[in-house]
């Protein structure tokens, strides 16, 4: 079988989960290398096992990412396009039922701040904060090295540890919120596991498995807030 046939076979085996693999160049021959999808939301996105990536890289040159869309057309989703940009590699997409293929490569795409789908490490709450600060303030914030899965992050949230290193200071109780301040929250978990941006009495944020949105800073969100932070210029 050629690499497309092997990738399709893998996609059928993983259905209804998304399959993921890498296309390698091994001594001039294209070879499909199947990988594990670690995502809890494997029916709609994937997290490529980093150990698989390292193994694949030791075997040959990684030339593209291949994954499946079990329930949607073989066209790049918004999360796919963002991830493709981050990877710097072209992406192949296959639907295991229709056996149709799609292709996408980096083009400089940037997702809208509101209405983007959630995907861990790609378009999540911290990704939204970084994109807002870059777009609105021309500030490049550090992209922390996240745990492989959101479940690992929820076990040990890292916002409080990373805030100062990223250029933010904790606000005093008497200080009033200003646009662009960050609100670190505890959402149905232990520790501060979510972050939102304060904007004119509302918050711009991205909760897991939802679209990013701007909504009123409600009493419930206020109760969830455990830390208020402000970016320090020239930090």
What ranges do the domains of the chain cover?
3-104, 125-231
Residue 103 contacts residue 92 (beta carbons within 8 Å):
yes
CATH 1.10.20 for the 125-231 domain, yes or no:
no
CB 68 within 8 A of CB 97: no
Both tokens of 176, joined, read 């009033």
Q: Which two tokens stand for residue 117?
A: 């789908």
**CATH superfamily ID and name for 3-104:** Cytidine Deaminase, domain 2 (3.40.140.10)
Predicted pLDDT at 234: 59
Token look-up 């990412």 returns 65
d(CA 93, CA 88): 16
User: Per the confidence metrics, is the pTM higher than 0.85?
Assistant: no
Helices of type H across 62-191: 78-87, 125-137, 150-155, 159-166
pLDDT digits (tens, 9 = 90+) for 92-148: 999 999 999 999 999 999 899 999 988 888 889 999 999 999 999 999 998 887 887
| pLDDT, position 223 | 95
Classify residue 100 by its DSSP letter: -
Residues of the chain under the 50 pLDDT cut? none
């Amino acid at each position: 079988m050629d690499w497309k046939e092997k990738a399709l076979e893998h996609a059928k085996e993983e259905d209804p989960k998304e399959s993921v693999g890498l296309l390698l160049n091994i001594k001039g021959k294209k070879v499909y290398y199947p990988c594990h999808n670690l995502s809890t939301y494997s029916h709609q996105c994937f997290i490529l096992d980093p150990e698989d990536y390292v193994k694949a890289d030791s075997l040959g040159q990684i030339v593209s990412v291949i994954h499946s869309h079990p329930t949607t057309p073989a066209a790049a989703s918004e999360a796919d396009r963002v991830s493709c940009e981050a990877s710097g590699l072209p992406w192949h997409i296959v639907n295991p039922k229709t056996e149709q293929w799609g292709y996408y490569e980096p083009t400089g795409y940037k997702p809208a701040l509101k209405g983007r789908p959630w995907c861990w490490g790609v378009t999540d709450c911290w990704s939204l904060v970084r994109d807002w600060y870059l777009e609105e303030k021309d500030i490049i914030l550090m992209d922390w090295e996240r745990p492989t899965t959101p479940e690992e992050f929820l076990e040990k949230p890292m916002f409080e540890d990373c805030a100062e290193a990223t250029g933010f200071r904790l606000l005093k109780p008497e200080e009033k919120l200003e646009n662009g301040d960050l609100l670190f929250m505890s959402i149905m978990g232990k520790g501060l596991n979510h972050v939102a941006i304060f904007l004119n009495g509302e918050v711009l944020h991205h909760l897991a498995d939802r679209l990013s949105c701007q909504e009123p800073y409600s009493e419930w969100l206020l109760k969830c807030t455990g830390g208020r932070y402000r970016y320090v210029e020239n930090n």
